[in-house]
Amino acid sequence: MDYSHSEIEKKWQEHWRDIKLANCDVSLEKNNFYNLCMYPYPSGDLHMGHIRNYTIGDVITRYKQKQGFNVLSPMGWDSFGLPAENAAIKTGIHPKKFTEDRINNMRDQIQRLGSLYDWDKEVAAHDKNYYKWTQYLFIQLFNNDLAYKEDAPVNWCTSCNTVLANEQVIEGDCERCDSEVIKKNLNQWFLKISNYSEELLNGLDEIGDWPENVKSMQENWIGKSSGVQFNLKIDETELDFDVFTTRPDTLFGMTFAVISPEHDLMNEILSISSNSKEIKKYIDKAKSKSEFERMSITKEKTGVDTGLKVLNPINNKKVPLWVADYVLINYGTGAIMAVPGHDERDYEFAKKYNLEIVQVIIDKDHSIDIKEKPYIENGVLINSGDYDGLKSHTDGSESILKYLSDHNLGEKKVTYRLRDWLISRQRYWGCPIPLINCSKCGLVPESIQNLPVLLPEIDDYKNSEDSPLAKSEDFVTTECPNCGSEGKRETDTMDTFVDSSWYFLRYLDSQNEKSPFDQKIINSWLPIDQYIGGVEHAILHLLYSRFFVKALRDINLLNVDEPFHNLFSQGMINFGGSKMSKSKGNVVDPEAYFTTHGADALRLYILFMAPPSDGVEWNDGGIEGTKRFLNKFWDNMTKFSNLENNKTNDEDSLVRSMNQTIFSVTRHLEKFEFNTGVSDLMKANNEISSYLNKNTTVSKETKELVFSSMCNLLYPFSPHISSEIYDLYMNKDISTLDWPTYEESNLTNPTYELVVQINGKKKFTKVINTGTSQENAEEICKSEFNLNVSDFKKVIFVEDKIINFIG
């Protein structure tokens, strides 16, 4: 029989609201647990990814509540961003109205899932009471030299008409719209995340429980590399430049040097090079190439000889200096020593342009042939003067480094791939950057009492090169807060990742009108005990937020090193082989399942279908199974409540089964193994079915045990039905019960099936008493299977498991 889920779910959701089950008093200082699901972009409709995220989060919330924690579980909206603006361009609906309609719709849907959120603390990035403080924090960063404006070659999406962060360029294309990204020189705002490269990297070792893959993605992204930086002088000039290498041991193998076309020294080189016409042409060509073309590996390397020579600092050998765009301006020093004998890229280049190739490392068996391909492994130095015979990777490197540093030519150096975070966006629907260009004082932050700098009303959201905000004369023209003379406002808005880098701080004090947050509360509640969200945010959001918190710590706004202690990344839910998205038309709408199967069944299925960290293909059939389980559970409990009060012989095993289920579900919950937790409950339900098939009575104690354990254990997964059943038959609100505990003595079955092996192969099984000794087991094997210990060389006995006769 189908139980009436719609009615029940509505009833309990109202009840939880009435008793304020989700409301958290953050002023308490004991037993706090901050459980956070990533706040969503308000796309308007909940998709299966959200359902998965918020179900996992709610399991944790309810489980931790039952363990006596004061759980904070807030929800809010990442509500700035492109879609609202694109919709405004298309339909004329104001982005604010558009966004808020969608938020309202989505909030309703989230509530139908039955998850507990403290809505009193709700935040929305686009709310002026929120972005006021985003601006405030930005000004603090600016005042502490952590925000700066600079001309820089930036990634420009030709379709979105805006700048993108490096992180938002995927294989040369825009992360959002897949259009081509080109390079452009623009004056842009940056946050100095690179100041924190080392700390962001080291923090990964000290952080709590994070998925390995996320840590490794962040490590890759930060891209630490240790080596040596040294100076190269251009022969017969006063010019010199630095190069960075991780292989100082190959210094004698340098047969040319390469400088990036964008290098600062290029103007001087052009003025003295005999080949300046060619170089100029080459530079212009490199500039016009897209980022992707430049980066493409398949592309053949190109370059131009400058005609100039540089001096190898260790032996004064003169080698040619080339310009080539395979050397990137924003890594290392933008120039390299080229060692074609021991570097693949230099090798390719040298082959193409017929440059000298010298071998300076030889392997143990002297078997390598540098004429075929470069040798990039370690070995022993040759052709390296006094250094011949040294091991390349240890003594060789160190000795050559010592020479360079002793002669003040170079030093040990660490470089990072991570670059500063570009946050300017030439878009309307974002947080305005609260800076003013004063004709006298230069760049000046808006005064704090004038915040927020409100988004102006404009008629036309379309942007060309300039941000749409530039269209509002009233907005742009203002007074300098310093000297009162005429100033012009910045017209760019911030990357929405700035909004999401601190929302979890605002939750704790979302109504505060005097400051972004209360430092005391933050320090007692952070780091967040459990953060849960999609693996797609492994780098961007998580790295930015970590940086933000460290920066705020250093300017004394809080005292926390890492925002997220434990992180859980759920896998993505796919449909028809690819990620669900509206544009692909492969969205499975959760809304329908609320009606047909109910929130409880949907929650249960999404937990049951796979380990939550795995990506998974959506499959309709499975949800029938979980609904079937809930129906059966309902029926079983109804029947069970009607059993007469009289103890039976089957009860002991039922009691054991309950204890085992408590033990197992608890263990699985602790390890985020929800799929197996659900299967434990299904198993237990089957036990109850078979008890009901055989018995018509049960003792009062066992009846109560079955109700309290089953409803309690099911409660985090499917809270409505478990609340209803417990209320119906035990007259109590299950949410008020503590998490159940098991009795150690009731976990073990009195008998087990002994596996009898001969030479490691299973031959027989026999049910015997738990705890049977080897001696007795051998006796049993003799009488049952005619196995005599004396006929075998050896007998291996593992208590309560196997006996193995070897002969």
Partner RNA sequence: GCCCGGGUGGCGGAAUUGGUAGACGCGACGGACUUAAAAUCCGUUAUUCGAAAGGAUGUGGGGGUUCGAGUCCCCCCCCGGGCACCA
Residues 69-128 that bind RNA (CB under 7 A): none
Q: Which of residues 234-253 bind RNA (CB under 7 A)?
A: 244-247
Q: Strand (E) positions, 627-725?
A: 644-645, 697-698
Q: Which of residues 457-476 bind RNA (CB under 7 A)?
A: none
State which residue, 187 or 619, has the beta carbon closest to RNA.
619
Q: Rounded to the nearest whole angstrom, what is the least distance from the CB of residue 236 to RNA in the complex?
A: 26
**CA-CA distance, 174 to 296, in Å (whole number)?**
16
Closest CA to 701 of 663, 662, 658: 658
189 contacts RNA (rule: CB under 7 A):
no
**Which residue of 331, 353, 729, 792 would you call a contact of RNA, by CB under 7 A?**
331
Asked if 484 and 436 count as a contact pair (C-beta separation under 8 A), the reply is: no
Q: Rounded to the nearest whole angstrom, what is the least distance from the CB of residue 543 to RNA in the complex?
A: 11
DSSP 8-state code for residue 21: T
294 contacts RNA (rule: CB under 7 A):
yes
State which residue, 332 or 445, has the beta carbon closest to RNA.
332
**CA-CA distance, 479 to 437, in Å (whole number)?**
9
Asked if 204 and 177 count as a contact pair (C-beta separation under 8 A), the reply is: no
Tokens (6 digits) for 631: 């129906």
Q: Decide: residue 625, CB within 10 A, 0-12 exposed, 13-18 middle, 19+ buried.
A: middle
295 contacts RNA (rule: CB under 7 A):
yes
**CA-CA distance, 347 to 61, in Å (whole number)?**
58
577 contacts RNA (rule: CB under 7 A):
no
- The vertex-60 CA angle with 725 and 512, nearest 5°, equals 115
Burial letters for 89-108: b for 16+ Cβ neighbours within 10 Å, e otherwise? Answer: eeeeeebbebbbebbeebbe
3 state DSSP class of 644: strand
**CA-CA distance, 358 to 346, in Å (whole number)?**
12
State which residue, 225 or 556, has the beta carbon closest to RNA.
225
State which residue, 565 or 668, has the beta carbon closest to RNA.
668
Q: Rounded to the nearest whole angstrom, what is the least distance from the CB of residue 699 to RNA in the complex?
A: 23
State which residue, 351 or 632, has the beta carbon closest to RNA.
632
327 contacts RNA (rule: CB under 7 A):
yes
State which residue, 30 or 694, has the beta carbon closest to RNA.
694
Asked if 615 and 595 count as a contact pair (C-beta separation under 8 A), the reply is: no
**CA-CA distance, 85 to 124, in Å (whole number)?**
16
Q: Which of residues 199-228 bind RNA (CB under 7 A)?
A: 212-213, 216-217, 219-221, 223, 225, 227
Q: Per-residue x/- mask for RNA, residues 682 to 701, rule CB under 7 A? A: xx--x--xx--x--------
Q: Which of residues 735-794 bind RNA (CB under 7 A)?
A: 752-753, 755, 757, 759-763, 765, 794
Q: Rounded to the nearest whole angstrom, what is the least distance from the CB of residue 344 to RNA in the complex?
A: 7
Q: Decide: residue 746, CB within 10 A, 0-12 exposed, 13-18 middle, 19+ buried.
A: middle
Q: Which of residues 665-684 bind RNA (CB under 7 A)?
A: 667, 673, 675-676, 678-679, 682-683
**CA-CA distance, 164 to 347, in Å (whole number)?**
34
Q: Per-residue x/- mask for RNA, residues 147 to 186, rule CB under 7 A? A: -----------------------x----------------
Distance, C-alpha 268 to centroid of its chain: 45
Q: Which of residues 414-453 bind RNA (CB under 7 A)?
A: 415, 417
599 contacts RNA (rule: CB under 7 A):
no
Instruction: Give the interface size with RNA as a residue count (CB under 7 A).
Output: 86
Asked if 545 and 501 count as a contact pair (C-beta separation under 8 A), the reply is: yes
619 contacts RNA (rule: CB under 7 A):
yes
Residue spans of alpha helices (H) in 235-330: 266-272, 276-288, 291-295
Give the binding range for RNA (CB under 7 A) out of 13-21, 325-333, 638-646, 719-727: 325-333
616 contacts RNA (rule: CB under 7 A):
yes
Q: Rounded to the nearest whole angstrom, what is the least distance from the CB of residue 663 to RNA in the complex?
A: 9
**CA-CA distance, 134 to 79, in Å (whole number)?**
13
* The pairing of beta strand 335-338 with beta strand 410-415: unpaired
DSSP 8-state code for residue 255: -
Give the binding range for RNA (CB under 7 A) out of 480-488, 522-530, 581-589, 624-632: 624-632
Q: Which of residues 500-539 bind RNA (CB under 7 A)?
A: 535, 538-539
Q: Rounded to the nearest whole angstrom, what is the least distance from the CB of residue 765 to RNA in the complex?
A: 5
Please report the sign of the dihedral spanned by the C-alpha atoms of residue 673, residue 678, residue 683, residue 685. Answer: positive
**Which residue of 68, 389, 442, 615 would you call a contact of RNA, by CB under 7 A?**
615
343 contacts RNA (rule: CB under 7 A):
yes
Q: Rounded to the nearest whole angstrom, what is the least distance from the CB of residue 762 to RNA in the complex?
A: 5
52 contacts RNA (rule: CB under 7 A):
no
Q: Which of residues 540-569 bind RNA (CB under 7 A)?
A: none
Q: Rounded to the nearest whole angstrom, what is the least distance from the CB of residue 223 to RNA in the complex?
A: 5
Q: Which of residues 398-417 bind RNA (CB under 7 A)?
A: 415, 417
Give the binding range for RNA (CB under 7 A) out of 312-320, 586-594, 619-627, 711-719: 619-627
